[in-house]
Structure 1
Amino acid sequence: MKILITGNNGQVARELRLALADKANVIALGRDRLDLANTELLRQQVRAQAPDLLINAAAHTAVDQAESEPEAAFAINATAPGVLAEEAAALGIPLIHYSTDYVFDGTGPGAYSEADAPNPLGVYGRSKLAGEQAIQAVGGQHLILRTSWVYSLHGRNFLLTMQRLLQEREELKVVDDQIGAPTWAGSIAQATAQLVEGWQSGNRHWGVYHLTNQGETSWFGFASAIAEGLKAAGKPCARLLPIPSSEYPTPARRPLNSRLDCSKLARDWHVTLPDWRSALAECLAQPR
């Protein structure tokens, strides 16, 4: 089997290469070979590779930056997924695409299910929702996997930022009123590998699914867990102070409630991710 992954050095793409290496011939195309904003090149590459499965792990993920460059965000997060869906449908193959908790406004009282109506707060969320809709409009075989608070030992993410700041400063303020599930890119990749196995075994429950590590915490809670890891390793660590979102204004508004109900994924595909704390421990145990 041949799997084409858009993205190469991104957090999820890196982990996908590892998780799928023994299952298929994996071709991962980074930005140097595949510019998602160039739709013609995108079509040409998919047709040239002629894969058995297409995974879109590339995205415009700079949430605040998207507010000042909506055209770029929509080109990569909305237009490109639609093009990929069209090419996948033409080849008669499935498309796996990753979306986000930011399609919701975070005002709901509990964990969001796939049946809840999206209402994104900013450009990033709107562009990701538009990408979902573009894929669904094509009507081919697809899995849209919404996840949240993605981190790994590579790239730019909350884990690496906190590890650096906690060792540089004496005191650090972190938002404590946004609730969600930190999700390790490795867990996403491992779950995706299970979904690929399910598809190969005949599962055809296509559609939108929520996929996050289990449990919930705040950004402050996540930072506290990261701090515990630094202390256990004998490294210097700043004192953490919880603050409300109002004390840390950003160009893009974030949902206060980012909890996603992943029971549909467990029911239809028999895939359940580990608790966020155990996933963090597994991530930190990985060689860099």
Structure 2
Amino acid sequence: MNKFVITGGGGLLGSAFHDVLAGVDLTRLHRDQLQTETEEALIETIRFLQPSIVINCAAATNVEGAEQNPEEDSAANARLPGALARACKETDALLVHFSSTGCYGDWKAEPYVEADEMHPTTVHHCNKLDGEAAIVQSGCRHIIVRTGWLYGGAPALAKNFVWKRLLEARDKTEMTSDASQRGNPTYVEDVARQVMKIIDSGVNGIFNVVANGVVSRFEYVAAIVEASGLACKVRPGPAFARLAKVSPNEGAVNARLQALGIDIMPAWNESLTTYVHTLLQSHAWKTVSVHEAERISE
């Protein structure tokens, strides 16, 4: 039986693996065990645990903050993956690491495929690409997952985009959303299931793992509100000002998964509709006050 180590288990991606890894031999490494200042200690921990598979869900996700604090972003998104890769190479463990479709950059109108060149436009995505390079250069067995526009998890998660849009729509008659930026709204639990499918298939390398279908941020938000049945009109709006020059096209297609016949990712709106209905049936939705809704949706 495979022995798993997971990092970043309390975040959006990490929590999605709780169900798919139920009943397996699993060790979670906490934040204080992942500091790059203690790289040798981290490698020694992996040596001691002797896992078959390391799933690295630990990451810095503040794209705007990375422009102002690139070192902190680099520590999590470039140096940590490199340290884990060296440990996995030494112990012959498979490393599963999560990157971003934003790394492709802004040079193509169509969805990106794995063979496309990488021209990241932000500090964050440059660091993510450095993390990919460190893994490849280590020579360890690896699965690098490029994904994006992730949603899911509990309402209390700080970056629960869908929950925040529901709260906003509940207390407004009209809202706007960026009609210029495009991507694949992707449910984290679908990603976890797809990753396990890749592992079970015995293939390695780099994979796009996104829901099928590229839409604008406006279409994404409109679908959230439509699924909720709330009486709020969503209208297309301009791009919002950002410090990070995020590519307007973060859309991708799962070309390698499709070529291998192992793409199980659904259409972008299927899981979204189900997830919205789950949130509307939750205790959190039924009990959140108007004051709290206004605070959370800010």
TM-score, normalization by structure 1: 0.89
Structure 1 segment 120-159 matched on structure 2, within 5 A: 120-154=120-154, 155=157, 156-159=159-162
Helix, strand or coil at the partner of 2:111 = coil
Task: Please say if 1:267 is aligned against 2:267.
Answer: no
Instruction: State the Cα deviation string for residues 108-135 of structure 1 (Å, max 9, x = none).
Output: 0211111111111111111100000010
**Equivalent of residue 253 in structure 1, options 234, 245, 248:** 245
Counterpart Cα distance in 1 of 2:64 and 2:121: 12
Counterpart Cα distance in 1 of 2:38 and 2:263: 34
Counterpart Cα distance in 1 of 2:12 and 2:46: 22
Q: Is the 8 A contact 2:114 2:255 kept in 1?
A: no
Counterpart Cα distance in 2 of 1:259 and 1:37: 35
In structure 2, the CA distance between the partners of 1:144 and 1:44, relative to structure 1 (3 Å rule), is same
Q: Give the aligned partner of residue 165 of structure 2.
A: 162
**Equivalent of residue 172 in structure 1, options 159, 171, 175:** 175
Structure 1 segment 227-246 matched on structure 2, within 5 A: 227-231=225-229, 236-245=230-239
Instruction: State the Cα deviation string for residues 78-133 of structure 1 (Å, max 9, x = none).
Output: 01101111100100111111110110223302111111111111111111000000
Task: Please say if 1:65 is aligned against 2:68.
Answer: no
Q: Is the 8 A contact 2:227 2:277 kept in 1?
A: no
Helix, strand or coil at the partner of 1:130 = helix
**Equivalent of residue 188 in structure 2, options 185, 191, 213:** 185
TM-score, normalization by structure 2: 0.86
Q: Is the 8 A contact 1:4 1:55 kept in 2?
A: yes
Structure 1 segment 1-16 matched on structure 2, within 5 A: 1-16=2-17
Helix, strand or coil at the partner of 2:31 = coil
In structure 2, the CA distance between the partners of 1:197 and 1:253, relative to structure 1 (3 Å rule), is same
Give the aligned residue type for 2:3: K
Q: Give the aligned partner of residue 212 of structure 1.
A: 210
Per-residue deviation, 1:66: 1.1
Helix, strand or coil at the partner of 2:28 = strand
Counterpart Cα distance in 1 of 2:65 and 2:216: 23
Q: Percent identity?
A: 28
Counterpart Cα distance in 1 of 2:242 and 2:177: 13
Gaps (5+ residues) in structure 2? 283-298
Instruction: State the Cα deviation string for residues 228-252 of structure 1 (Å, max 9, x = none).
Output: 1222xxxx5543221121xx10111
Q: Is the 8 A contact 1:81 1:134 kept in 2?
A: yes
Structure 1 segment 56-135 matched on structure 2, within 5 A: 56-135=56-135
Helix, strand or coil at the partner of 1:251 = coil
Q: Is the 8 A contact 1:178 1:256 kept in 2?
A: yes
RMSD over aligned CA atoms reads: 1.9
Per-residue deviation, 1:269: 6.0
Helix, strand or coil at the partner of 1:4 = strand
Per-residue deviation, 1:32: 5.2
**Number of matched pairs:** 276
Q: Give the aligned partner of residue 225 of structure 1.
A: 223
In structure 2, the CA distance between the partners of 1:3 and 1:172, relative to structure 1 (3 Å rule), is same
**Equivalent of residue 196 in structure 1, options 195, 199, 211:** 199
Instruction: State the Cα deviation string for residues 139-192 of structure 1 (Å, max 9, x = none).
Output: 121011100100103321321221222223343221011111100001101111
Q: Is the 8 A contact 2:102 2:250 kept in 1?
A: yes
Q: Is the 8 A contact 1:150 1:157 kept in 2?
A: no
